[in-house]
């Protein structure tokens, strides 16, 4: 058996950021384990109902329409009721998103402090402001 290569802590961290994943919607893992089979079953159920409805009319259809319906049921690979999983967010993407949100919050806090100070200087009892992420997109109205 080949000897296992030891990785440095930096390599381990880089691999962790690349391979580990986090739930994109901050959902409970238990709910995901329950809801994935439930969603798949719901899709299969709707496909069976659609097929049963089409087959219920099978005897009333003309020969060409019946062949077309049968072909649709047998070869229908892109089913309407299909549910698909998608991968969660990588840890690197998650950390980057969290840091962007923290920067946004910090920028908003600094901007509000500045607006409060300006309102006091102008003698206003309060202020109305909307912060859009930059000072250009904002407005200030003393009350």
Mean pLDDT score of the chain, rounded to an integer?
Answer: 79
Region label for 133, one of left (φ > 0), alpha (ψ between -120 and 50) or beta (otherwise): left
Burial of 108 (0-12, 13-18, 19+ CB in 10 A): middle
pLDDT attached to residue 92:
92
Alpha helices in the chain (DSSP H): 9-19, 29-56, 63-75, 91-121
Name which residue leads in pLDDT, 7 or 136: 7
Coil/strand/helix, residue 21:
strand
pLDDT of residue 132: 55
Q: Is the Cβ–Cβ distance between 130 and 138 less than 8 Å?
A: yes
Higher pLDDT, 11 or 105: 11
User: Is-above-0.75 flag for pTM?
Assistant: no
Instruction: Say yes or no to pLDDT of 41 above 60.
Output: yes
Per-residue model confidence (pLDDT) at position 12: 94
Domain ranges for the chain: 20-87, 100-143
């Amino acid at each position: 058996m080949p000897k296992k290569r030891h990785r440095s802590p930096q390599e381990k961290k880089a691999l962790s950021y690349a391979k580990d994943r986090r739930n994109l919607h901050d959902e409970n893992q238990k709910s995901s384990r329950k809801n994935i089979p439930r969603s798949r079953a719901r899709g299969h159920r709707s496909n069976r109902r659609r097929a049963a409805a089409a087959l219920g009319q099978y005897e009333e259809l003309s020969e060409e329409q019946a062949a077309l319906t049968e072909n649709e049921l047998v070869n229908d690979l892109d089913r309407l009721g299909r549910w698909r999983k998608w991968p969660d967010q990588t840890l690197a993407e998650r950390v980057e998103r969290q840091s962007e949100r923290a920067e946004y919050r910090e920028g908003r806090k600094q901007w509000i402090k500045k607006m409060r100070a300006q309102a006091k200087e102008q003698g206003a009892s309060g202020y109305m402001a909307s912060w859009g992420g930059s000072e250009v997109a904002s407005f200030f109205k003393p009350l």
